[in-house]
Amino acid sequence: MKHEAKPLWPVATLVALTGLNLLDYLDRQLLAAVLPALQSELRLHDEQAGTIATAFMLGYFLTAPIFGWLGDRLSRTWLIAGGVFVWSLGTLLSGHAGVYVSLLLFRVLVGFGEASFGTISPGWIADLFPPLRRNNAITIFYFAIPVGSALGYLVGGYMAVHYGWRSAFLWAGYPGLALALLLFFLREPARGASEPAGAAGALPGGPPGWRGYLNLFKYPAYLLVVAGYVAQTFAMGGFSLWAPTFLYRVHHMALDRAGFFFSASLAATGLVATLAGGFWATRWQRKTGTGYAWLLALSASLAAPTAFAAFILPDLGQAKVALVATMFLLFFSTGPVNTLILETVPAAMRATAMAASIFAIHLFGDLWSPKFVGYLSDQWGDLRRAVLCALPGALIVSAFFWCLLVVQTRRSRNRAGGG
């Protein structure tokens, strides 16, 4: 009977980690939801408010390489549980912040804790499920992004209006402290436990230390995945900040209606596209062995013209349809891109690969793309021209790298005798 119960552990672990991922992204959006009330009480101007978000991002992506190194060596249970505890503590403390500097420090702490969770959890899931089931599991894990983000806006806004902005951080922090303890009741799999016999897994002599980040350059498929992901993240960063303002300035849509339309569309398209793209990619991969790569190339190739149409069409209704289509296509690749990050390197380097990806997509992607679009808009005095230049162009770059990935994947399969 014990043998029959064993398959339940991967599912239970996936449910627990997905729930934590939902809480992770809920927390990230709380700041945006409560920002006006927070600014009013702490008397912060807009630049200071923006720096709070930057503090979180610095705590997140600058520490990801550290957790990537640790995640391939130490107990993932302790690292993930510790990360959840630290980010939940930072969230609670954010609700008690009395001055601006302390709030900055607490948001850095949140980013530090979330870096541990975001870097190590996908590799744990990959070791629980065999290759043919892995992408579906990864897709379910990442479907928490749009759901958690939408809940963050909704819960944060409701709590701020009815109970004050501090209550939003307090109620988001307590569940994390409790759920961190839940992880100790789950079984951590061995690294590479679900790989087929003869697959690349353990490395001679164990993980290669800090030079492991340099060793990632030995894997061309991984580099192509991340290069396309950087360009896509650049586009998404600028898109998420400037799309509501674009609707307001260019199409003269009321600002509150523009914000509601964008957030509602983001939640709906994110939920449907993440699941649909992930499950379709799994079926495609089983049939051809190149389905993941093809789906990435297809999504970016289609998103570039829809993004162009969204910013060039003069009719508001048509522009909104194109915006929704673009958001759908951007989320369509969520599961497969993260699966490929994990599968294009040996199993013993998965945390390292995920950490390097997180570092790259934020440092070269959404950390500065909103500012770049704003700079072009200021220089040209035309927001439409700025978004047309920056965002569809970035998606074309993403499609280029992911089309090269298709070629690379086919070549690798031919060399391996896979057809």
In a domain, 269, yes or no: yes
Signed CA dihedral, 112, 143, 373, 255: sign only: negative
Q: Taking 60 as the threshold, does the pLDDT of residue 270 lie above it?
A: yes
CA distances from 16 to 60, 105, 160, 286, 375 (A): 22, 28, 28, 27, 42
Domain with 57, as residue range(s), is 2-185
In a domain, 330, yes or no: yes
87-134 per-position pLDDT tens digit: 999 999 999 998 999 999 999 999 999 999 989 999 999 999 988 889
Which residues, including other chains, have CB under 8 Å from residue 278's CB and lie 6 or more apart? 135, 136, 138, 139, 140, 142, 143, 334, 335, 336
The more confidently predicted of residues 243 and 392 is: 392
173-198 per-position pLDDT tens digit: 888 888 888 888 888 888 877 777 55
In a domain, 201, yes or no: no
Q: Taking 50 as the threshold, does the pLDDT of residue 29 lie above it?
A: yes
143 and 253 share a domain?
A: no
CATH code: domain of residue 343: 1.20.1250.20
How many domains would you assign to the chain?
Answer: 2
User: According to the model, what pLDDT value does residue 220 have?
Assistant: 96
In a domain, 198, yes or no: no
Let me know: does 20 contact 117? Beta carbons within 8 Å: yes
User: According to the model, what pLDDT value does residue 300 have?
Assistant: 97
198-248 per-position pLDDT tens digit: 554 555 555 556 777 899 999 999 999 999 999 999 999 888 778 888 888
In a domain, 203, yes or no: no
159 and 262 share a domain?
A: no
In a domain, 202, yes or no: no
213 and 316 share a domain?
A: yes
Mean pLDDT, the chain, rounded, equals 87
74 and 180 share a domain?
A: yes
Predicted structure pTM score: 0.83
In a domain, 158, yes or no: yes
pLDDT confidence tier of residue 162, bands split at 50, 70 and 90: confident
pLDDT confidence tier of residue 4, bands split at 50, 70 and 90: very low
pLDDT confidence tier of residue 156, bands split at 50, 70 and 90: confident
In a domain, 199, yes or no: no
pLDDT confidence tier of residue 396, bands split at 50, 70 and 90: very high
